[in-house]
Amino acid sequence: MRVVVTQLAASAHLNLVVPLGWALKSAGHDVVIAAQPDIMPLVRQTGLMGVAVGDEARYAERVAAMAPEETIYGSGYSITEIRPEVLTYEYVRDCLAAFASPMALDVNTDESVFDGMVAFCRSWRPDLVIWDSMTYTGPVAAAACGAAHARTTIGRDHWGRLRELFLRLRAERPEAAGEDPVRDWLTAKLDKYGCEYDDDLVLGQTTIDSIPSWLRLPAEYDYLPVRYVAYNGPGTIPDWLRTEPERPRVCVTLGNSYQEVWAGRAKLGYPDLFEAVADLDIEVVALLGPASVPAGATVPDNVRIPGFVPLDPLLKSCSAIVHHAGTGSTLTALLNGVPQLIIPHALHDEDQVADAIEAHGVGVHLPPDRFSADTLRTELQRILNDSTFTERAQKTSQEIRETPTPHDLVKDLEEHVLRHRRTAG
C-alpha cells in the first residue's frame, strides 16, 4: 500500500514518526513524508522519501516576531487546563475555538500547505495518511483522495481530552446542540476541496500513541498503543562515549523544540547549572553548542559541551538526565531506564508530565520557581544516591519494551486500511 506521513515541520515531531515510517517501508509498503520545505533536509537524512508541500514554516522566526498577546499563550486559554472549576462548557468551547484559529492551528500550517497536501494526495493516491495531531492537512487530504487515515500524538493528548469533554458538556445543554467551533473551522477547510465534514476527521479514525499507559490521558476514542522507539537523526558515536564513564554521567538537554519552534524563549540558568555541579564527582554532558554558553560563564572541568550527540546512545551510559519534559527527552529516558530531574518549560503540560514522572518514582520535579544552584545540586545528588530511582526507572523501561513495536503495528494498519479506505471526496 501507499502511505503518506505528515507532521509539523519540526525535528521533534519528525523524529517521533520515522521508526513507524521505516517499519512500513521494511514491510514492503511505499512511504512518503510530506511536509513543509524547510524540514526536507532532515527528511532526506531519514532515508525515507520526502515531498515538499506549501511554503516554509519558519517557526522560530515567526514566533520571535509575535507579541505574546498574538499567540495562543496570550489568549487566556490553555488546552492543558485540568482544574474542574475552570473547565466549564463555555471555557472548553472557547478554548477549542482559540486553537482552531489563526492563533494556533493556522500558524502551524497555512493554506499553502493544505493546497499542496491535497494536490499531492490526489495525484499519488495513498491508501493511508498518518498525520500529526497538531496539523490538519493530513485528514483533509485523506478526505480529498479517499485514503484511510490515522492520527499520531506528539505528547499527552490534551486536544483529544478537551474534545471529548466538549462533546459531553454540550450533550447536557440542548440549546448548544449546534455549537462546534472545531467542526466549523474544519468544514471551511474541507469546503475548498469539495469534501464533507465527518467527526472522525477531528481525532482520526484511530490514534497511534507511544505514551506509556500510566502517563497517557484517559480517552474513549480508538487508539493503537505502540512502543516508543528513539530516533535522534543521523550522527556518530564519539570516542569518549564508546567506553564506560569513570564516574556517574549526567546528561543535560533542552530538546530540539526549544530553538526550532519557540525561538529559545524557555530558559534554563546555565550559570546556576555550572555552579551546582562544579564540585560534584560526576561528569556532566550538556547538549548545547559552545555558542550557547552565556558570555562570561565559566564551564567547570567536569562539564563536557560536545554539541550534538544522539540522545539514545548517550543515555545508555548515563546515571541521570536533567531536562525540560519534552516528549522525546522524557520517553528516551524512560526507554533507557534513566532517572530524571525535570525543570519543566512553561509551554504545554511539562509541569504535569514532571508531576507524573515524580509520582511514578522515576524522577524528581524541580519547578522553575525553585530552581537555583543549591536546589539543583541537592535534587541531583538525591537522584544519584537513592537507588530506588534507578530500580524503578529500569522496571519502567522493561514495561515499555513489552509494548507492541512499530513492526507489530504494521498489520493493524493494513487491516485499518481495508476497513476505512473509501472513494475520494
User: pLDDT band at 257, cuts 50/70/90?
Assistant: low
User: pLDDT band at 266, cuts 50/70/90?
Assistant: very low
| Main-chain phi, psi angles of 117, to 5 degrees | -65, -45
Q: Please state, in angstroms and rounded to a whole number, the distance separating the CA atoms of residues 186 and 195.
A: 10
- Mean pLDDT along residues 257-264: 48
pLDDT tens for residues 289-334?
667 777 778 899 999 999 889 999 999 999 999 999 999 999 999 9
C-alpha grid cell, residue 8: 509539523
- What is the SS3 assignment for 329? helix
Would the pLDDT of 384 be above 60?
yes
C-alpha grid cell, residue 251: 546528561
Enter the DSSP assignment of 281. Answer: S
- Determine what percent of the chain falls in helix, strand and coil, rounding each to the nearest 5: 45, 10, 40
- Mean pLDDT along residues 82-102: 96
- Mean pLDDT along residues 269-295: 86
pLDDT tens for residues 385-397?
999 999 999 999 9
pLDDT tens for residues 174-211?
999 999 999 999 999 999 999 999 999 999 999 999 99
Q: Please state, in angstroms and rounded to a whole number, the distance separating the CA atoms of residues 140 and 151.
A: 12
pTM to 2 decimal places: 0.92
Cβ atoms of 109 and 49 within 8 Å: the answer is no
Q: Please state, in angstroms and rounded to a whole number, the distance separating the CA atoms of residues 221 and 219.
A: 6
Q: Which residues contact 170 (CB under 8 A, 6 or more apart)?
A: 89, 93, 176, 177, 179, 180
C-alpha grid cell, residue 233: 537523526
Query: What are residue 375's DSSP bridge partners?
Result: none
- 384, 251, 252: which is closest to 318 by C-alpha? 251
Q: Which residues contact 304 (CB under 8 A, 6 or more apart)?
A: 240, 283, 284, 285, 286
Q: Which residues contact 198 (CB under 8 A, 6 or more apart)?
A: 143
Query: What are residue 2's DSSP bridge partners?
Result: 30
Output 29 or 346, whichever has higher pLDDT.
Answer: 29
Could you give the percent of the chain with pLDDT greater than 70?
95
